[in-house]
Amino acid sequence: MPEAKFSVAIARDIAQYVTAQGGDMDGLCRAAGIDRAWLADPDRQIAGDCLKALWREAVAQTHDPDLGLHLGEAFDLAAIGIVGYVLLNCQTYGQALEKLARYTHLFSQGVAISHRVTNGWVQCDCAVLGDVQNYLLDEPRHPIESTFSALLTATQQLTGQPLKLYGVWFQHPQPGNVAEHDRIFQTPVQFAQPINRLAFPASCLDWPVKSANASLLAVFEQHATALLSAQNQGYAQKVGQTISQNLQGDVPSLEAIAHALAISPRQLQRELKNENTSYQRLVDDTRRELALRHLQDPEVSIHDMAFLLGFSEPSAFHRAFKRWTGQTPRHYRLGQSFD
Protein backbone atom coordinates (compact mmCIF):
# COMPACT_ATOMS: atom_id res chain seq x y z
CA MET A 1 0.00 0.00 0.00
CA PRO A 2 1.48 3.41 -0.94
CA GLU A 3 2.23 5.95 1.78
CA ALA A 4 0.46 9.33 1.88
CA LYS A 5 2.82 12.28 1.51
CA PHE A 6 2.36 15.80 2.78
CA SER A 7 3.81 19.16 1.79
CA VAL A 8 6.69 20.32 3.94
CA ALA A 9 4.75 23.61 4.08
CA ILE A 10 2.51 21.99 6.72
CA ALA A 11 5.55 21.16 8.85
CA ARG A 12 6.92 24.68 8.34
CA ASP A 13 3.61 26.22 9.42
CA ILE A 14 3.54 24.11 12.60
CA ALA A 15 7.19 24.78 13.40
CA GLN A 16 6.93 28.53 12.85
CA TYR A 17 3.83 28.78 15.01
CA VAL A 18 5.43 26.82 17.85
CA THR A 19 8.66 28.81 17.74
CA ALA A 20 6.62 32.03 17.83
CA GLN A 21 5.22 30.69 21.12
CA GLY A 22 8.77 30.24 22.42
CA GLY A 23 9.35 26.69 21.16
CA ASP A 24 12.60 25.13 19.97
CA MET A 25 12.86 24.80 16.16
CA ASP A 26 15.81 22.41 16.25
CA GLY A 27 14.05 20.24 18.81
CA LEU A 28 10.94 20.10 16.63
CA CYS A 29 12.90 19.08 13.54
CA ARG A 30 14.91 16.52 15.48
CA ALA A 31 11.78 14.94 16.96
CA ALA A 32 10.13 14.78 13.53
CA GLY A 33 13.21 13.34 11.83
CA ILE A 34 13.36 16.12 9.25
CA ASP A 35 16.23 18.26 8.06
CA ARG A 36 15.66 21.91 8.94
CA ALA A 37 16.79 22.85 5.41
CA TRP A 38 13.76 21.01 4.02
CA LEU A 39 11.49 23.72 5.42
CA ALA A 40 12.81 26.14 2.79
CA ASP A 41 11.94 23.82 -0.12
CA PRO A 42 8.35 24.63 -1.17
CA ASP A 43 7.98 21.55 -3.40
CA ARG A 44 9.27 18.96 -0.93
CA GLN A 45 6.94 16.21 0.28
CA ILE A 46 7.43 14.43 3.61
CA ALA A 47 6.10 11.24 5.14
CA GLY A 48 3.14 11.17 7.49
CA ASP A 49 5.26 9.71 10.30
CA CYS A 50 7.27 12.94 10.29
CA LEU A 51 4.12 15.00 10.76
CA LYS A 52 2.80 12.66 13.43
CA ALA A 53 6.00 13.11 15.44
CA LEU A 54 6.00 16.85 14.78
CA TRP A 55 2.43 17.29 16.09
CA ARG A 56 3.31 15.34 19.24
CA GLU A 57 6.42 17.43 19.89
CA ALA A 58 4.54 20.65 19.11
CA VAL A 59 1.86 19.84 21.67
CA ALA A 60 4.53 18.90 24.22
CA GLN A 61 6.45 22.14 23.70
CA THR A 62 3.40 24.43 23.79
CA HIS A 63 1.43 22.54 26.45
CA ASP A 64 -1.59 23.43 24.30
CA PRO A 65 -4.29 20.72 24.20
CA ASP A 66 -6.07 22.70 21.45
CA LEU A 67 -3.02 23.34 19.30
CA GLY A 68 -4.73 22.41 16.02
CA LEU A 69 -7.53 24.92 16.57
CA HIS A 70 -5.11 27.70 17.45
CA LEU A 71 -2.78 26.93 14.55
CA GLY A 72 -5.77 27.20 12.21
CA GLU A 73 -6.68 30.59 13.66
CA ALA A 74 -3.19 31.85 12.77
CA PHE A 75 -3.31 30.36 9.25
CA ASP A 76 -2.19 32.36 6.22
CA LEU A 77 -3.02 31.21 2.69
CA ALA A 78 0.58 31.73 1.61
CA ALA A 79 1.48 28.82 3.91
CA ILE A 80 0.16 26.31 1.35
CA GLY A 81 2.13 27.80 -1.52
CA ILE A 82 0.75 27.63 -5.03
CA VAL A 83 -2.64 26.38 -3.81
CA GLY A 84 -2.99 29.48 -1.65
CA TYR A 85 -2.24 31.74 -4.61
CA VAL A 86 -4.82 29.91 -6.72
CA LEU A 87 -7.47 30.48 -4.05
CA LEU A 88 -6.57 34.16 -3.64
CA ASN A 89 -7.27 34.80 -7.33
CA CYS A 90 -10.60 32.97 -7.67
CA GLN A 91 -13.69 35.01 -8.51
CA THR A 92 -16.01 33.64 -5.82
CA TYR A 93 -15.84 31.66 -2.61
CA GLY A 94 -17.58 28.76 -4.36
CA GLN A 95 -14.88 28.69 -7.03
CA ALA A 96 -12.22 28.79 -4.30
CA LEU A 97 -13.74 25.68 -2.68
CA GLU A 98 -13.77 23.92 -6.06
CA LYS A 99 -10.08 24.71 -6.62
CA LEU A 100 -9.25 23.66 -3.06
CA ALA A 101 -10.84 20.27 -3.72
CA ARG A 102 -8.94 19.90 -6.99
CA TYR A 103 -5.51 20.76 -5.61
CA THR A 104 -5.69 19.38 -2.07
CA HIS A 105 -3.25 16.61 -2.95
CA LEU A 106 -0.50 19.15 -3.57
CA PHE A 107 -0.26 19.72 0.18
CA SER A 108 -1.94 16.60 1.58
CA GLN A 109 -2.34 13.13 0.11
CA GLY A 110 -4.05 12.02 3.31
CA VAL A 111 -7.39 13.80 2.89
CA ALA A 112 -9.95 14.63 0.22
CA ILE A 113 -11.89 17.89 0.56
CA SER A 114 -15.22 18.24 -1.22
CA HIS A 115 -18.49 20.13 -0.94
CA ARG A 116 -22.05 19.83 -2.17
CA VAL A 117 -25.25 21.82 -1.82
CA THR A 118 -28.26 20.17 -0.18
CA ASN A 119 -31.52 22.03 0.54
CA GLY A 120 -29.85 25.42 0.55
CA TRP A 121 -26.93 24.34 2.75
CA VAL A 122 -23.32 23.55 1.85
CA GLN A 123 -21.84 20.39 3.30
CA CYS A 124 -18.05 20.72 3.17
CA ASP A 125 -16.37 17.40 4.00
CA CYS A 126 -12.79 16.49 4.84
CA ALA A 127 -12.48 12.73 4.33
CA VAL A 128 -9.46 10.91 5.76
CA LEU A 129 -8.26 8.51 3.06
CA GLY A 130 -7.93 4.85 3.97
CA ASP A 131 -6.49 3.45 0.72
CA VAL A 132 -2.98 4.64 1.65
CA GLN A 133 -0.70 4.35 4.67
CA ASN A 134 -2.03 7.42 6.45
CA TYR A 135 -1.07 8.70 9.90
CA LEU A 136 -4.36 10.62 10.01
CA LEU A 137 -6.20 7.34 10.50
CA ASP A 138 -4.42 6.98 13.87
CA GLU A 139 -4.08 10.56 15.10
CA PRO A 140 -6.54 12.83 13.27
CA ARG A 141 -7.54 15.30 15.95
CA HIS A 142 -5.08 18.18 15.66
CA PRO A 143 -4.60 18.02 11.85
CA ILE A 144 -8.35 17.91 11.11
CA GLU A 145 -9.27 20.53 13.71
CA SER A 146 -6.52 22.71 12.26
CA THR A 147 -7.95 22.21 8.76
CA PHE A 148 -11.45 23.35 9.75
CA SER A 149 -10.21 26.24 11.87
CA ALA A 150 -7.92 27.31 8.99
CA LEU A 151 -10.84 27.16 6.55
CA LEU A 152 -12.70 29.73 8.66
CA THR A 153 -9.60 31.94 8.74
CA ALA A 154 -9.07 31.56 4.99
CA THR A 155 -12.70 32.45 4.29
CA GLN A 156 -12.24 35.73 6.15
CA GLN A 157 -9.02 36.41 4.24
CA LEU A 158 -10.62 35.66 0.87
CA THR A 159 -13.98 37.38 1.25
CA GLY A 160 -13.72 39.67 4.26
CA GLN A 161 -16.76 37.92 5.75
CA PRO A 162 -17.01 35.41 8.61
CA LEU A 163 -18.38 31.99 7.75
CA LYS A 164 -21.43 31.44 9.97
CA LEU A 165 -21.77 27.70 10.53
CA TYR A 166 -24.88 25.76 11.41
CA GLY A 167 -23.05 22.51 12.15
CA VAL A 168 -19.61 21.01 12.73
CA TRP A 169 -18.89 17.27 12.79
CA PHE A 170 -15.65 15.54 13.73
CA GLN A 171 -14.91 11.83 13.49
CA HIS A 172 -12.54 11.76 16.45
CA PRO A 173 -13.79 11.43 20.03
CA GLN A 174 -14.75 14.47 22.08
CA PRO A 175 -11.85 15.93 24.08
CA GLY A 176 -12.30 16.75 27.73
CA ASN A 177 -12.80 20.49 27.24
CA VAL A 178 -14.61 21.93 24.19
CA ALA A 179 -14.66 25.59 25.21
CA GLU A 180 -12.26 26.52 22.40
CA HIS A 181 -14.32 24.60 19.85
CA ASP A 182 -17.41 26.55 20.92
CA ARG A 183 -15.53 29.87 20.72
CA ILE A 184 -14.04 29.27 17.28
CA PHE A 185 -16.93 27.57 15.49
CA GLN A 186 -19.76 29.48 17.23
CA THR A 187 -22.10 26.52 16.87
CA PRO A 188 -22.56 23.17 18.63
CA VAL A 189 -19.78 20.76 17.67
CA GLN A 190 -20.50 17.04 17.44
CA PHE A 191 -17.80 14.39 17.84
CA ALA A 192 -17.51 10.68 16.98
CA GLN A 193 -19.46 11.30 13.77
CA PRO A 194 -19.30 9.36 10.47
CA ILE A 195 -17.53 12.23 8.63
CA ASN A 196 -15.61 15.44 9.25
CA ARG A 197 -18.00 18.16 8.04
CA LEU A 198 -18.75 21.87 8.14
CA ALA A 199 -22.23 23.10 7.15
CA PHE A 200 -23.11 26.66 6.16
CA PRO A 201 -25.60 28.56 3.92
CA ALA A 202 -25.26 28.02 0.18
CA SER A 203 -25.49 31.78 -0.38
CA CYS A 204 -21.89 32.02 0.86
CA LEU A 205 -20.70 30.40 -2.36
CA ASP A 206 -21.53 33.60 -4.26
CA TRP A 207 -19.38 35.84 -2.06
CA PRO A 208 -16.76 37.62 -4.21
CA VAL A 209 -13.09 37.05 -3.45
CA LYS A 210 -11.46 40.40 -2.64
CA SER A 211 -8.21 39.72 -4.48
CA ALA A 212 -9.75 38.04 -7.57
CA ASN A 213 -7.63 38.24 -10.72
CA ALA A 214 -8.58 35.99 -13.64
CA SER A 215 -5.22 36.44 -15.41
CA LEU A 216 -3.20 35.49 -12.35
CA LEU A 217 -5.54 32.59 -11.64
CA ALA A 218 -4.76 31.12 -15.07
CA VAL A 219 -1.01 31.44 -14.46
CA PHE A 220 -1.12 29.89 -10.99
CA GLU A 221 -3.46 27.11 -12.10
CA GLN A 222 -1.12 26.17 -14.93
CA HIS A 223 1.69 25.75 -12.41
CA ALA A 224 -0.54 23.86 -9.96
CA THR A 225 -1.69 21.48 -12.68
CA ALA A 226 1.91 20.77 -13.69
CA LEU A 227 2.84 20.05 -10.07
CA LEU A 228 -0.15 17.74 -9.70
CA SER A 229 0.89 15.84 -12.82
CA ALA A 230 4.48 15.52 -11.55
CA GLN A 231 3.22 14.32 -8.17
CA ASN A 232 1.40 11.46 -9.86
CA GLN A 233 4.69 10.00 -11.08
CA GLY A 234 5.64 6.65 -9.62
CA TYR A 235 8.68 6.30 -7.41
CA ALA A 236 10.63 4.57 -10.16
CA GLN A 237 10.39 7.68 -12.33
CA LYS A 238 11.25 10.00 -9.42
CA VAL A 239 14.23 7.86 -8.43
CA GLY A 240 15.48 7.71 -12.02
CA GLN A 241 15.31 11.47 -12.34
CA THR A 242 17.07 12.02 -9.01
CA ILE A 243 19.84 9.55 -9.86
CA SER A 244 20.34 11.34 -13.19
CA GLN A 245 20.65 14.70 -11.42
CA ASN A 246 23.18 13.36 -8.90
CA LEU A 247 25.24 10.99 -11.06
CA GLN A 248 28.43 13.05 -11.41
CA GLY A 249 31.47 10.87 -10.88
CA ASP A 250 29.94 8.78 -8.11
CA VAL A 251 26.81 6.68 -7.98
CA PRO A 252 24.51 8.16 -5.31
CA SER A 253 23.58 5.71 -2.59
CA LEU A 254 20.06 4.47 -1.95
CA GLU A 255 20.18 6.39 1.34
CA ALA A 256 21.10 9.66 -0.42
CA ILE A 257 18.27 9.30 -2.94
CA ALA A 258 15.79 8.41 -0.20
CA HIS A 259 16.88 11.50 1.72
CA ALA A 260 16.38 13.66 -1.38
CA LEU A 261 12.86 12.26 -1.78
CA ALA A 262 12.06 12.65 1.93
CA ILE A 263 11.37 8.95 2.44
CA SER A 264 13.11 6.30 4.50
CA PRO A 265 15.42 3.92 2.59
CA ARG A 266 13.35 0.93 3.69
CA GLN A 267 10.10 2.53 2.53
CA LEU A 268 11.69 3.50 -0.79
CA GLN A 269 12.74 -0.10 -1.34
CA ARG A 270 9.18 -1.21 -0.63
CA GLU A 271 7.75 1.37 -3.04
CA LEU A 272 10.11 0.26 -5.82
CA LYS A 273 9.28 -3.39 -5.19
CA ASN A 274 5.58 -2.50 -5.56
CA GLU A 275 6.49 -1.05 -8.97
CA ASN A 276 8.37 -4.24 -9.92
CA THR A 277 11.82 -2.69 -9.94
CA SER A 278 14.78 -2.08 -7.64
CA TYR A 279 17.25 0.66 -6.89
CA GLN A 280 20.13 -1.17 -8.58
CA ARG A 281 18.06 -1.75 -11.71
CA LEU A 282 17.20 1.96 -11.86
CA VAL A 283 20.88 2.89 -11.46
CA ASP A 284 21.71 0.57 -14.34
CA ASP A 285 18.89 1.91 -16.53
CA THR A 286 19.84 5.52 -15.79
CA ARG A 287 23.49 4.89 -16.62
CA ARG A 288 22.47 3.30 -19.90
CA GLU A 289 20.21 6.21 -20.89
CA LEU A 290 22.89 8.77 -20.02
CA ALA A 291 25.58 6.80 -21.85
CA LEU A 292 23.49 6.72 -25.03
CA ARG A 293 22.88 10.45 -24.69
CA HIS A 294 26.56 11.28 -24.07
CA LEU A 295 27.64 9.22 -27.08
CA GLN A 296 25.69 11.57 -29.31
CA ASP A 297 28.04 14.37 -28.26
CA PRO A 298 31.41 13.98 -30.01
CA GLU A 299 32.99 16.42 -27.55
CA VAL A 300 32.61 13.95 -24.66
CA SER A 301 35.37 11.36 -24.63
CA ILE A 302 34.55 7.77 -23.77
CA HIS A 303 37.09 7.93 -20.92
CA ASP A 304 35.35 10.99 -19.44
CA MET A 305 32.00 9.34 -19.97
CA ALA A 306 33.02 6.38 -17.81
CA PHE A 307 33.97 8.78 -15.01
CA LEU A 308 30.76 10.82 -15.33
CA LEU A 309 28.67 7.67 -15.04
CA GLY A 310 30.42 6.58 -11.85
CA PHE A 311 32.47 3.66 -13.20
CA SER A 312 35.73 2.97 -11.39
CA GLU A 313 37.59 2.50 -14.69
CA PRO A 314 36.85 2.63 -18.45
CA SER A 315 36.97 -1.16 -18.79
CA ALA A 316 34.04 -1.51 -16.39
CA PHE A 317 32.06 0.97 -18.50
CA HIS A 318 32.93 -0.97 -21.68
CA ARG A 319 31.67 -4.23 -20.15
CA ALA A 320 28.44 -2.62 -18.96
CA PHE A 321 27.80 -0.92 -22.31
CA LYS A 322 28.35 -4.15 -24.21
CA ARG A 323 25.90 -5.87 -21.87
CA TRP A 324 23.33 -3.12 -22.57
CA THR A 325 23.70 -2.91 -26.35
CA GLY A 326 25.90 -5.74 -27.59
CA GLN A 327 28.38 -3.13 -28.83
CA THR A 328 31.36 -1.24 -27.49
CA PRO A 329 30.87 2.49 -26.89
CA ARG A 330 33.24 3.28 -29.79
CA HIS A 331 31.36 1.13 -32.30
CA TYR A 332 28.03 2.49 -31.12
CA ARG A 333 29.29 6.03 -31.63
CA LEU A 334 30.49 5.21 -35.10
CA GLY A 335 27.15 3.64 -35.90
CA GLN A 336 28.72 0.30 -36.73
CA SER A 337 27.57 -3.14 -35.59
CA PHE A 338 29.92 -5.14 -33.42
CA ASP A 339 30.00 -8.85 -34.03
* Predicted pLDDT at 231: 73
**Is the separation of the CB atoms in 103 and 216 below 8 Å?**
no
Query: With bands split at pLDDT 50, 70 and 90, how would you rate the model's confidence at 215?
Result: very high
**How confident is the model over 159-193, as pLDDT tens digits?**
999 999 999 999 999 999 999 999 999 999 999 99
- Of 133, 140, 130, the C-alpha closest to 47 is 133
- Provide, rounded to the nearest whole percent, the portion of the chain with pLDDT above 70: 98
**Is the separation of the CB atoms in 142 and 72 below 8 Å?**
no
CA distances (Å), origin 269, targets 18, 32, 108, 235, 239: 34, 21, 22, 10, 11
Q: What is the mean pLDDT of residues 259-267?
A: 80
CA distances (Å), origin 15, targets 26, 45, 106: 9, 16, 19
CA distances (Å), origin 143, targets 44, 184, 224, 331: 19, 16, 23, 59
Tell me the domains of the chain and their CATH numbers. Answer: 5-229 (3.90.1520), 234-334 (1.10.10.60)
**Close Cβ partners of 301 (under 8 Å, ≥ 6 residues apart):** none
- Provide, rounded to the nearest whole percent, the portion of the chain with pLDDT above 90: 63
**How confident is the model over 300-309, as pLDDT tens digits?**
888 888 888 8
- 268 vs 39: CA distance, rounded Å: 21
Query: With bands split at pLDDT 50, 70 and 90, how would you rate the model's confidence at 336?
Result: very low
Is the pLDDT at 338 greater than 60? The verdict is: no
Is the pLDDT at 339 greater than 70? The verdict is: no
